[in-house]
Amino acid sequence: MQLSDEDEEKPLRLKHIGGLFYGLYCQSYNNTDLDRAIAAYEAAVRLTPDGHRCQAELHSQLGISLCRRFEHSGDVTDIDNAIFALEGSLILTPDGHADKPGRLNNLGNSFARRFERSGDPADSDRAISTHEQAVNLTPDGHAYMPGRLNNLGNSFARRFERSGDLSDSDRAISAHERAVNLTPDGHADKLRSFCNLGNSFLGRFERSGDLSDSNRAISAHEQAVNLTPNGHGEKPGRLNNLGNSFLRRFDHSGDLADSDRAIFAHEQAVILTPDSHTDKPAYLNNLGSSFFRSFERSGDLADSDRAISAHERVVNLTPNGHIDKPGRLSNLGNSFARRFEHSGDLSDGDRAISAHERAVSLTPDGHADKPGHLSNLGSSFWGRFNHSGDPTDSDRAISSYRSAGNCPTGAASIRLKAALNWARLASSVDPSSTLQGYTKALDLVPQAAWLGQSLTARHRELLSIGAIASEAAAAASAAGQSETSLEWLEQGRSIVWNQLLSLRTPVDALRQVDAALADDFEHVSMALEHASTGDSSIQDHSHQSDKRLSMEESAQYHRRLAEEWERLVGRVRGIPGFESFLRPKRFTQLHIAAKAGPVVVVNVHESRCDAFILVDGLDEVVHIPLPTFSYTKAQKLHLHLNQLLSTAGVRVRDTDIRAMKRVTTSKRGGFEFILSNLWSSVVKPVLDSLAFTVSYTSNPPRVWWCATGPLAFLPIHAAGIYSKSEPGFNISDYVVSSYTPTLAAIIGARESHQARDKYRGLLAISQPSTPGQSALPNTEVELNIIKEQATKFGVRLLKGPEASMESVIEGMEAHSWVHLACHGVQDTIEPLKSAFCLHNKRLELSTIITKSFPYADFAFLSACQTAAGDEKLPEEAVHLAAGLMLAGYGSVIATTWSIKDKDAPVIAGHVYTKLFSNTEPDSSGSAVALHHAVKLLRQQVGDSEFLSWVPFIHVGV
């Protein structure tokens, strides 16, 4: 029986028919069934009078069906109509109605789908807003809560792709993790939750580079693929996601097995997806990217051709206005550019540029992908310039890199590399532009090694960045700008230490102007320091899931603190008089480092080597080119030194037999070669420029050394020609040498020393027989000598079992001086685990830097390798001596390699004799005391016993 339009039952019958066809579609994915469902729902909506009890439901069902058709058809009219219907449904649904959360969820999904097509940020924001409302209105324990959390997470993840704001990524992961945890095993939606969580981890990995995110993404996607039966409609998408995860890890690790796995997964996704499916272009795009990465590694032109073929199909299948069109054009451009590098076919170069230009033009300003697309365009122009020599291409390459470096958003690492390319390419055509490029690059370094990352992650990022400060300083020096060179060396080195020190910045002046802001800044700084230095490496394997979640929450909390801290710094800089708050120091602020003697900063770079000297009373930098020294020579000397130390077994403080093999004549000659080269090529030119003469006084002038690159690991303080017996051929005949990690370190240490009211006793620790370590019998002799010297001034001794880590830290908090006679170790894999070996556990660098000892003044580190540093990070001074300086000890005696157990008491005895010879102990005399103590040891063992006396150094004031 056919019902007329006026029949009250017709809308309900049409609703029922629409539901039947929609149900058939969900089983068969037959588009005809979906079209019939939509037609029935549209007729039902048209015939339903206002106020009818089914009016809201009909609008909702129509909107859901239209949204589903849009996913297949890509017809924007469908998604616009879906949103209109769903908004109408929501208006018709009263607050408190049981269906309100579900309808909000559906509307959010529609906004999300339209955002994926249009890229309109307003749609992204509306999707998140409505999804958040849906989640908030859904009671705990509700069966639909996981699905709504999934949708919320997806909306945050999509916005993150555009904005690059890590807080969006973190919120996506939090929502997806909740969805996974709330979905019971075996539930059909569990796999979808795993997929979404994996995609969120992968998105964050692409921005942060944290390998654990990559591994988590692969784990989630592997579970989803393995548990999805063959023939399931979502199998291709899950294979595609798994392929993406393998591909991104391959980009990071270079493991060819990951590349092969990515290609296999992507090929399967493409094979299983019909050409009419709207996801086919995305899968083809990713397959093309996998072939492209494989070509980059293997050089197999067949892979290059496959990549181009896939990317060309993708671009042709992607409609204009689609949010992914720019990225797909960029991938096509990269594929042409790499083939051009191999083939030299100019048509490939032209096509690469054309594709990249389109990608840039279609990407709105402020989009997180803009700097990447501009960088790719710059690379293509530069590639064509190298082939054709057309200066216009060179100019366009520089312009593209400049634009990428100056983008306000996007991954800091991409913008940083773009700025470096800008600077390097401009060096031959526009020196002023070169310096602008380096200025931008140095400004971006702290963003790449961001405060919101763990210390280990920051060091890893700095390792990948390289010695930018040295490169920039060399360029500035070549341009005759010595002050800029010095400023850049200060700005671009010891990044992590300076970040930690910035969190301890006094705000007394700020408090006079805005007490509330000062309190907020102090509170957030303290919390951020704790988050930065907290140990999250220990895992409770009995509660792995909970532990991972708590680590994830801690990491997100850390990032939010960093963002808030940056906002507070911005507010402070907005106050008149505080515009330069925590900005890099200028020369006018740095020259006071030379108040007590010249400070020599030696820059070693592949292009040139220079010494920049600060002299008290001189308002300009003394620039000394070092033409006979080079980066290559510094590398060779460093390698030679390491070979000598390795052969001699010099790695830990030990008894003479075990610590140090006999030094042969050839090894002595090796040391003489190193020290004479340092003398003739570095030290003597500096001393001559300062007009120093041989000093015959007991208090020679002082000089501070701050070196870069491989020179940072060479013994400048011992430079000389030791085959000559007459005075004037080694550095100690002229000056007392000290080191400083940075100019700011020496300025801060001197100010802290002057501010201290009095000496508060010496804490002396000895470990003659540490469990698990070889015996150090002379540490007891060392402490007895110290006791004799220090008793009348106040000394506390901790020997053997008394020297637990807890008691040592407690003692350091109560005393102003500390002497550590024990084993020490420099961890070459994780430098922050470098440590002093105490009776019950190690006192690690990571623990030391969390402390700010209130009375700290002087530290004598009578252990091995306490100033050895991490050879992979020469500009970061990641060693125990620097850590003690960060913790407040402004004057530190340390060692660059092992010391003989019998030599330590000689040095310590003479140092403390000097320091306790006055009525009040004064650590500012420690450098001179060490200078004389080493001379005494040289007299006892002979100048040629370099392994004995060279390792002792002084750091600080």
> Which whole number is the average pLDDT over 314-340?
93
Comparison of pLDDT for 49 and 603, the residue scoring more: 603
DSSP 681: I
Question: pLDDT tens across 610-658, in order?
Answer: 999 999 999 999 999 999 999 999 999 999 999 998 888 775 444 443 2
Return the pLDDT at 8: 63
Q: What is the largest CA-CA distance in the chain?
A: 122
Task: Quickly count helices (H) and strands (E) in the chain.
Answer: 40, 14
Main-chain dihedrals φ then ψ at residue 306, nearest 5 degrees: -65, -40
Return the pLDDT at 666: 47
Residue 106 vs residues 11, 43, 85, 134, 876: alpha-carbon distances, Å: 22, 21, 11, 9, 52
Give the C-alpha separation, 41 to 214, whole Å.
44
Question: Which helix (DSSP H) or strand (DSSP E) does residue 612 occupy?
Answer: strand 609-614
Banded pLDDT at 2 (limits 50, 70, 90): low
For residues 538 and 531, the answer to whether their CB atoms sit within 8 Å is no
Ordered DSSP codes for 818-859: EEEESEEE--SSSGGG-EEE-SSSEEEHHHHTT---TT--EE
Identify the top-confidence range among 266-275, 295-304, 595-604, 754-763: 595-604
Q: What is the dihedral of CA 59, 62, 63, 67, to 10 degrees?
A: 180
Quickly list H helices, 209-255: 211-227, 235-253
Return the pLDDT at 540: 34
Sign of CA dihedral 880, 882, 884, 890: positive
**Which two three-digit tokens encode residue 459?**
């060091």
Three-state secondary-structure class, residue 562:
helix
Query: Exposed (0-12), middle (13-18) or buried (19+): which is 738, by Cβ within 10 Å?
Result: buried
Question: Which helix (DSSP H) or strand (DSSP E) does residue 613 occupy?
Answer: strand 609-614
Three-state secondary-structure class, residue 26:
helix
Three-state secondary-structure class, residue 344:
coil
Give the C-alpha separation, 403 to 405, whole Å.
6
Sheet order of strands, 762-766 included:
622-625, 609-614, 599-604, 702-707, 736-739, 952-956, 891-895, 858-862, 817-821, 762-766, 795-799
> Which whole number is the average pLDDT over 51-56?
81
Identify the top-confidence range among 35-49, 169-183, 203-217, 877-891: 169-183
Banded pLDDT at 784 (limits 50, 70, 90): very high
By mean pLDDT, which of 13-22, 372-381, 660-669 is the weakest?
Answer: 660-669
Question: Which helix (DSSP H) or strand (DSSP E) does residue 702 occupy?
Answer: strand 702-707
**Which two three-digit tokens encode residue 221?**
């996607």
> How far separated are the first and last CA of the chain, in Å rounded?
101
Return the pLDDT at 544: 46
> Which whole number is the average pLDDT over 583-592?
95
- Asked whether residue 659 carries a pLDDT value surpassing 70, the answer given is no
Return the pLDDT at 669: 59
Please give the share of the chain, as a percent, with pLDDT higher than 90: 67
Residue 99 vs residues 12, 331, 599: alpha-carbon distances, Å: 19, 44, 73
> Which whole number is the average pLDDT over 292-314?
90
For residues 419 and 441, the answer to whether their CB atoms sit within 8 Å is yes
10 Å Cβ neighbour count for 939? Answer: 10
Quickly list H helices, 76-228: 76-91, 100-118, 121-137, 145-163, 166-182, 188-208, 211-227
Q: What is the mean pLDDT of the chain?
A: 90
Return the pLDDT at 609: 98
**How would you classify the pairing of strands 835-837 and 823-825?**
antiparallel
Return the pLDDT at 886: 86
Question: pLDDT tens across 695-721, in order?
Answer: 989 899 999 999 999 999 999 999 999
Sign of CA dihedral 75, 79, 84, 85: positive
Question: Which helix (DSSP H) or strand (DSSP E) does residue 952 occupy?
Answer: strand 952-956
- Asked whether residue 871 carries a pLDDT value surpassing 80, the answer given is no
> Which whole number is the average pLDDT over 381-398?
95
By mean pLDDT, which of 432-446, 481-495, 750-764, 902-916 is the weakest?
Answer: 750-764
Question: Which helix (DSSP H) or strand (DSSP E) does residue 633 occupy?
Answer: helix 631-647
Sheet order of strands, 835-837 included:
823-825, 835-837, 842-844
Give the C-alpha separation, 464 to 578, whole Å.
33
Helix axes 188-208, 211-227, angle to 10 degrees: 160
Question: pLDDT tens across 243-281, in order?
Answer: 999 999 998 888 889 999 999 999 999 999 988 888 899
Please give the share of the chain, as a percent, with pLDDT higher than 70: 95
Return the pLDDT at 523: 96
- Asked whether residue 390 carries a pLDDT value surpassing 70, the answer given is yes
Question: Which helix (DSSP H) or strand (DSSP E) does residue 737 occupy?
Answer: strand 736-739
For residues 277 and 72, the answer to whether their CB atoms sit within 8 Å is yes
Give the C-alpha separation, 597 to 599, whole Å.
7
Banded pLDDT at 403 (limits 50, 70, 90): very high
For residues 496 and 459, the answer to whether their CB atoms sit within 8 Å is yes
Return the pLDDT at 541: 35
Banded pLDDT at 539 (limits 50, 70, 90): very low
Question: Which helix (DSSP H) or strand (DSSP E) does residue 763 occupy?
Answer: strand 762-766
**Which two three-digit tokens encode residue 655?**
């008894």
For residues 402 and 433, the answer to whether their CB atoms sit within 8 Å is yes
Question: pLDDT tens across 546-562, in order?
Answer: 444 467 888 889 999 99
For residues 585 and 744, the answer to whether their CB atoms sit within 8 Å is yes
Give the C-alpha separation, 702 to 699, whole Å.
9
Banded pLDDT at 660 (limits 50, 70, 90): very low
By mean pLDDT, which of 10-19, 98-107, 732-741, 759-768 is the weakest?
Answer: 10-19
Residue 909: which region, alpha, beta or left (left: phi > 0; alpha: psi -120 to 50)?
Answer: alpha
10 Å Cβ neighbour count for 1? Answer: 3
For residues 318 and 348, the answer to whether their CB atoms sit within 8 Å is no
∠234-235-240 over CA atoms, to 5°? 100
- Asked whether residue 661 carries a pLDDT value surpassing 70, the answer given is no
> Which whole number is the average pLDDT over 395-406?
98
Helix axes 346-362, 370-388, angle to 10 degrees: 160
Question: Which helix (DSSP H) or strand (DSSP E) does residue 937 occupy?
Answer: helix 926-941
The residue assigned the tokens 């916005």 is 159
Return the pLDDT at 664: 45
For residues 468 and 441, the answer to whether their CB atoms sit within 8 Å is yes
10 Å Cβ neighbour count for 192? Answer: 21
> Which whole number is the average pLDDT over 517-542?
74
- Asked whether residue 516 carries a pLDDT value surpassing 80, the answer given is yes
Length of the chain: 957
Sign of CA dihedral 739, 740, 746, 749: negative
| SS3 sequence of 360-424 | HHHCCCCCCCHHHHHHHHHHHHHHHHHHHCCHHHHHHHHHHHHHHHCCCCCCHHHHHHHHHHHHH
Closest by alpha carbon to 575, among 521, 499, 527? 521
> Which whole number is the average pLDDT over 523-542?
67
Percentages helix, strand, coil for the chain, rounded to the nearest 5? 65, 5, 30
DSSP 4: P
**Which two three-digit tokens encode residue 89?**
């449904």
Main-chain dihedrals φ then ψ at residue 245, nearest 5 degrees: -65, -45
Comparison of pLDDT for 690 and 771, the residue scoring more: 690
For residues 605 and 467, the answer to whether their CB atoms sit within 8 Å is yes
> Which whole number is the average pLDDT over 87-113?
93
10 Å Cβ neighbour count for 148? Answer: 26
